[in-house]
Amino acid sequence: MMSGTSADGIDLAAVSIDDDTSRPRVRFLATAHRDYPAELRDRVLRAASHDAATAADLAILHAALGDAYADAARAFISALDGRPDVIAVHGQTVAHLPDRHATLQLGDASRVALRTGVATVSDFRSADIAAGGEGAPLVPFGDHVLFADRAPIALLNLGGIANLTLISSARAEDVIAFDTGPANMLSDLIAQRGGERFDEAGRTAARGRVDDTALHEALAHPYFARRAPKSTGREDFGATVADALFARVTRNGGSPGDALATAIVLTARTVAEALARETPGGVRWRELVIAGGGAHNSTLVSRLREAVAPIPVRTMDELGIPSSAREAVAFAILGAFRMRGLANTLPSATGASRAVSGGAIHRP
């Protein structure tokens, strides 16, 4: 179960993984999504924006999210053919501070284990941070398990944050993965100014015009110039950046649609520039495969195709995994490896001193 930085709800995926430790075969079984209730989502966003959340607020939210995950897991399991061996719960990130070697994901996994009767793994990031890494990105481990035989392949997730996994060969140590910067996060925050939860399919952005001055200012953010490995979140690209972008566009006489168009081009440009900068010498990507909620934003996808041309762009659905479930599938893989006591991180992606078997196991 995965809840991303957009805080829209819970993505669930069921997979079957065989016992081949070198290259296990993964079979996709089912997926589902459950929206957070509006009140719970508001509490998550307040906590993630560090808006005067007290220790008591966080403790109560931790419990509430645990109940939400347990409800979602029970409903999902009831529709499956049999009970799973393990549940992996990423949790809801409310703070990610890699420069201070700290991260925090909420959601009481003990409630999931006790209410489902299934061993549950959570807190995947802490072990990597303890080993000197940033605790992110972790999804590339699952990407490598799934797609190493398609190398050289680049994979892009478009959630609140955009992250790339570059698999240049079948060797795990060659994987390069990192967050490129904001994806849906800025567009969502700008759309919410007009009372919309998000700009569906990028329709409003498609009618807008890019403000080159605002785009140039946004591209000057120091994060974009940093080399991988690196990770980011709402702390770097949340309301403050969205407000500044919107204010600059409207000050220049632009519309909310112009601000959305500018935010989308910012994502496309930063992804393309990071892809070019981090591509190993001599590697030509077979394809860029996109997943996440942003894969359903046709305007964003069009801008990406233009920015990364001539690399072909495909959706993960075309490879047999629903785009919205890519991260949930990855954490299912991480959970299975943790239960088997196997390493489930890539130091080349997180910057850790060594690979670790990350995750706290909660028994029913």
Dmax over Cα atoms in the chain, in whole Å? 60
Could you report the per-residue pLDDT of 198-220, keeping only the tens digit for each?
999 999 999 999 999 999 999 99
Going residue by residue through the chain (364 aa), what tens digit of pLDDT does each one get? Answer: 999 888 889 999 999 999 876 778 999 999 999 999 999 999 998 998 877 679 999 999 999 999 999 999 999 999 999 999 999 999 999 999 988 999 999 999 999 999 999 999 999 999 999 999 999 999 999 999 999 999 999 999 999 999 999 999 999 999 999 999 999 999 999 999 999 989 999 999 999 999 999 999 999 999 999 999 999 998 899 999 999 999 999 999 999 999 999 999 999 999 999 999 999 999 999 999 999 989 999 999 999 999 999 999 999 999 988 888 999 999 999 999 999 999 999 999 999 999 999 999 999 9
Query: Which CATH number applies to 150-319?
Result: 3.30.420.40
Could you report the per-residue pLDDT of 43-88, keeping only the tens digit for each?
998 998 877 679 999 999 999 999 999 999 999 999 999 999 999 9
Query: Which CATH number applies to 9-138+323-362?
Result: 3.30.420.40
pLDDT, the chain, mean:
95
Bridge partners for 122 per DSSP: 360
pTM summary value: 0.90
Structure tokens at 277: 């900068």
Residue extent(s) of CATH 3.30.420.40 domains in the chain: 9-138+323-362, 150-319
